[in-house]
Amino acid sequence: MIADNINQKITEALKSRDEIRLSTLRMLSSALNYEKIAKQHDLSKEEELVVVKREAKKRTDAIESLLQARGRLTSSNETRMEDRLEQEEKELEILKKYLPEELSDEELQNFVDEAIKETGANEMKDMGKVIGTVMQKSKGRADGKRVAEKVKEALGTRH
């Protein structure tokens, strides 16, 4: 399980004095522990993946925000922002190692087509059902935003 593996990786990061890896793994370990306490049971592999995805999404959102803010900063703040951006990107790369490989566009399209047939969807109002089915079948290997785009595209061409 991810939590067991992380404790070993924290020890390795300590020995190698890799500060970013160490802080990222500690943060992830803490998030997993909080989730375990909240659920009041040991986390399943799927529940652990949800936590890792949530933490990765936080990094992705932070990176997007920093990139949007980039042009509005003074030169003194720009250096700090670049450092922060670099740190968020490194943290995201570390977290990605604990996530399953993303579906290719072709694989995702197959899941979407299958879900549309299965749910009988043919209008945009059925989008939620299709997205739910795809997310369930892809078992954490597809980003919700990508799924929504593919479903919207597929349902939009059915008219």
* Token pair for 47: 């529940």
**How far is residue 95's CA from residue 91's CA, in Å, rounded to a whole number?**
6
31 CB-contact burial (10 Å; exposed 0-12 / middle 13-18 / buried 19+)? middle
74 with 21, same domain: the answer is yes
91 with 120, same domain: the answer is no
**How far is residue 87's CA from residue 82's CA, in Å, rounded to a whole number?**
9
For residue range 80-117, list pLDDT tens digits in order.
888 899 999 999 999 999 988 888 888 888 988 888 88
* Token pair for 147: 């799924």
Q: Domain count of the chain?
A: 2
CATH number at residue 69: 1.10.1510.10
* Token pair for 133: 């089915």
Among 55, 72, 96, residue at a domain's last position: 96
For residue range 5-52, list pLDDT tens digits in order.
898 999 999 999 999 999 999 999 999 999 999 999 999 888 898 899
Higher pLDDT, residue 155 or 75 = 155
CATH number at residue 133: 1.10.10.410
89 with 110, same domain: the answer is no
Predicted structure pTM score: 0.74
Show the domain range for 56.
2-96
